Structure 1
Amino acid sequence: MSDHEWQAPGGSPQTPRPDAPSAPGGAVDPGVYGPPPPHGAWTPPPKPGLLPLRPLGFGTLLWAPFRTLRRNPAPTFGSGLVVQLVSAVATAAVVVPFLTVAITRLEGATEADADAILSGTVGGFLLLMLVPIAISIVVSAFLQGVMVVEVASGTLGDRLGFGALWRRAARRIWPLIGWTLFVGAALLVALTLLVLIVILAASISPIGLAVGITVAVLLGLGLVVLGAWIGVKLSLVPSVIVLEQAGIRTAMARSWRLTDGFYWRTFGTLFLVAVILNLAANVVVQPVSLVGTLLAVIVDPTGTGSALTITIVTTVVTLILSLLIGAITAVVQAALIAVIYIDLRMRKEGLDLELERHVEARGAGLPVADPYGPPAAHVPSGAGTPSPFGSERPATWS
């Protein structure tokens, strides 16, 4: 036994960590370990990066998405900001010119033509808004993929740049877009159903209108409860699509199974983080808006227009703050989904053991494969599995 290997009575030599620094001549520096642990003592699992390689406690689960943003801020916050800017610019590019033309036409129209122009304007506006909505769907789906890759790679100790994150997310962009469109279509169908109920009831009689509104409200509340339940059960779909290279149907089934037995824990985490983000946004934005309004009233109490500059500055500052907070919110919520996904796979499928083996093998210079593939992907099948998180490992390694 080497002088640098410690052996407890009845135990085996301590195996140096793959990442332990070497002393001259290739020997591992014994000082990196500190005092050896007592024989049989429990040692915590390693934490090479973002998450500890063990099932997460509720506190860790709750704050891990915020730590994701803090750990690698430029690529993550930059991605969220790009998404917010693209959505805002696309909406402004469509809405501003259209409304300018519409207002000009209405001002120059005769009384007889005003109703027809107004109806055409409303219809055209609704159709035109499909453009920024489509762009928002695409960029939101892309952000989901980016944050899933960031959390997965960060858990293994990697710190990817902006370009690397976007290139990896781009590989699964079409299934992500398909999933986002599916969710949007489901919401649109539910909203259309409620509107149709009110319209049909209103066509019968004024009493029917009141009944229709009541029915629509009650049905709407029921749909909210149903949507919340289904939404939590399917919340892991983006993570499965990106990390397991799964199709939409397979991802839905996987998400449904992974959340079995952990519904309320998943719901509580998603709900609490949403509340925290909403409160933080209001604490930052609302005082600025309130101060601007009070200054405008003080400077121009009679409403002559002399406080127009204050109003414009307040509006611009509020919009900028909303963009920044919107970027943070989008990043944290997307990262939270990936954190919950990894935690549930640790609990139900032993993913933490797979990640430990991956980190150890990669640190030792051994070929490795994607540790996030579905459980069946880790069964030796005679061929190596390509990994976006390392090189390739032999099929005999498990």
Structure 2
Amino acid sequence: MSQPDPGNRPEQGPQPPWGTQPQWGAQPQWGAQPQWGAQPQWGAPQYPGQSWGAPIDPRWPAGGPPPYGQPRYVAPPKPGIVPLRPLFFGEIMDGAFQTIRRNAKTMFGSALIVQAISGALSEVAALGMLGMVQPPVGGFTSQDEAMRYLGPVFGATAGIMGISLLTLVLAAILQGVMAIPVARSALNRPTGFKQMWSLARSRLWPLVGFAFLLLAGSLLFLVVVFLLAALILTALGPLGVLLLLPLGFGAAVVYAWIYTKLLVAPAAITIEELGVFAGLRRSWTLTSRNWWRIFGITLLVFFMVNVIGQVIQIPLGLASSGITSVFAPHAGASQVTTTAIVLAVVSLVVGVLVSAVGFAFQTSVAALIYMDLRMRRDGLDVELLRLLETGEDPDGVPGRRRARQAGAQPWPPNTAQGFPRG
């Protein structure tokens, strides 16, 4: 058997002849090797404007592709108080402050009117209680004596409750009206006091209906809780007191849950031009799957406003007692009454100012929560971008139905811009 020829292997191809092997003299010289202080020249840069020896500039030149083939990140625009995308907690807080700063006369002026009315009425009721007859030490000797004392007490208590309910109604109406400058500030459109009320004119009656429905619901809720407590005490006697604590806690939880679910109803009624019940359903839908987040933001803002208000009011109260004891240590009854009235007026003015700022801030936060929910669920940020680019309806309210119907583009889907919705 013959052996295969080692110089002819068809399955591997012919071997190169020995005479064509590279010579030792053709090897690269040591001097041609790359030096330690220089980068190896692997070839021309892949992208225009790029050099191997220069440091990478994070601001990649316009017109050239980004490094490593990654898509270039473009931050969402922020023409106004917040960026046009779903919002974070810090952006909601900052946007509320920016709204008050850019629309100071509109936001603070409207809140000041409501707080001044409620504060003045509350102070009148409080001063009226100061002049009431003190109860006798040994108790009432007759029914007429008891009625002479308890009548003004019940009247003052009813007056204070009525003032609180009136404040609730005015606050609910004003919360919807003040959502207009917040929505316009998202596109850096300032809103005057007269312009805000002009834009909200057609929504006042639905807001009034919502306010009285909220008032009726709150009263019904309190009556039910009171009746349950009365039935428990009647059936169990003193042992029923042990059940009042969990009853009160459960009632507070239910009230907080319903209040959070209906938080953005005034803004929905005003901006989307909805009816009373449609606004309630809209708020209930928007707040689904976001209840804990909304409740946490609202609770934190509530504590912030009240703590700041108390920090301002406590030194004023201490100063009031100090002024009375220093300047009029042996004053008569008339002087004490005059001093008390003057200090009450000063405290009222300071309290109204602080309450107006706090109410404007809370209202702005609620309106920004509404806009954030619509950005997450309805793609409102895309609609705002379209209005920003086209400049359409500069004197209207961004997000209203008329503005959406005027455009040719349909309402955007939930996955627009790649941001997580819901």
Aligned to 2:399, which of 372, 386, 396? 372
Aligned to 2:239, which of 190, 194, 211? 211
The match for 1:323 is 352
The match for 2:42 is none
CA distance in 2 between counterparts of 1:320 and 1:66 reads 22
The match for 1:71 is 102
The match for 1:107 is none
Task: Choose 255-264 or 71-80, whichever is displaced more.
Answer: 255-264
- Secondary structure, in 3 states, of the residue corresponding to 2:109? helix
Deviation per CA, 1:208-250: give whole Å up to 9, x if none. Answer: 4423333233211101112212221221111111111112322
1:289 and 2:302 aligned: no
The match for 1:20 is none
CA distance in 2 between counterparts of 1:38 and 1:61 reads 36
The alignment covers a number of residue pairs equal to 342
Aligned to 2:377, which of 335, 338, 348? 348
1:159 and 2:190 aligned: yes
The match for 2:368 is 339
> Structure 2 vs 1, CA of residues 140 and 397 (structure 1 numbering), >3 Å: closer, same or farther?
same
CA distance in 2 between counterparts of 1:37 and 1:386 reads 35
CA distance in 2 between counterparts of 1:335 and 1:396 reads 29
Q: Is the 8 A contact 2:107 2:360 kept in 1?
A: yes
Task: Choose 306-315 or 84-93, whichever is displaced more.
Answer: 306-315
Aligned to 2:265, which of 230, 237, 244? 237
Q: Cα distance, 1:320 vs. partner?
A: 1.0
Q: Cα distance, 1:193 vs. partner?
A: 2.9
Q: Is the 8 A contact 1:61 1:269 kept in 2?
A: no
Q: Cα distance, 1:347 vs. partner?
A: 1.7
Instruction: Provide the TM-score with structure 2 as the length reference.
Output: 0.70
Aligned to 1:81, which of 89, 112, 121? 112
CA distance in 2 between counterparts of 1:224 and 1:367 reads 43
Identity %: 33
> Structure 2 vs 1, CA of residues 53 and 275 (structure 1 numbering), >3 Å: closer, same or farther?
same
The match for 1:147 is 178
- Secondary structure, in 3 states, of the residue corresponding to 2:107? helix
Q: Is the 8 A contact 1:361 1:367 kept in 2?
A: no
- Unpaired segments ≥5 residues, structure 1: 1-8, 11-34, 104-109, 378-384
CA distance in 1 between counterparts of 2:350 and 2:102 reads 22
> Structure 2 vs 1, CA of residues 292 and 142 (structure 1 numbering), >3 Å: closer, same or farther?
same
- Unpaired segments ≥5 residues, structure 2: 1-46, 49-60, 66-70, 134-140, 412-422
> After the TM superposition, which residues 1-398 of structure 1 pair with which residues of structure 2 at under 5 Å, given as runs?
36=62, 39=65, 41-91=72-122, 113-122=144-153, 124-125=155-156, 132-133=163-164, 135-200=166-231, 208-299=236-327, 311-362=340-391, 371-373=398-400, 385=402, 393-395=406-408
- Secondary structure, in 3 states, of the residue corresponding to 2:352? helix
Q: Cα distance, 1:73 vs. partner?
A: 0.6
The match for 2:36 is none
Q: Is the 8 A contact 1:258 1:345 kept in 2?
A: yes
- Secondary structure, in 3 states, of the residue corresponding to 2:310? helix
The match for 1:3 is none
Task: Choose 195-204 or 89-98, whichever is displaced more.
Answer: 89-98
Task: Choose 59-68 or 295-304, whichever is displaced more.
Answer: 295-304
- Secondary structure, in 3 states, of the residue corresponding to 2:200? helix
Q: Is the 8 A contact 1:51 1:64 kept in 2?
A: yes
Q: Is the 8 A contact 1:169 1:242 kept in 2?
A: yes
Corresponding letter in the other structure for 2:182: V
Q: Cα distance, 1:86 vs. partner?
A: 2.1
CA radius of gyration, larger in: 2
Q: Is the 8 A contact 1:235 1:255 kept in 2?
A: yes
- Secondary structure, in 3 states, of the residue corresponding to 1:160? coil
Deviation per CA, 1:118-168: give whole Å up to 9, x if none. Answer: 454455555655764564344223311222111011112211111111222
CA distance in 2 between counterparts of 1:36 and 1:65 reads 35
Deviation per CA, 1:293-323: give whole Å up to 9, x if none. Answer: 2343345567766766654443322211110
CA distance in 1 between counterparts of 2:117 and 2:210 reads 20
Q: Is the 8 A contact 1:81 1:324 kept in 2?
A: yes
Instruction: Provide the TM-score with structure 1 as the length reference.
Output: 0.73
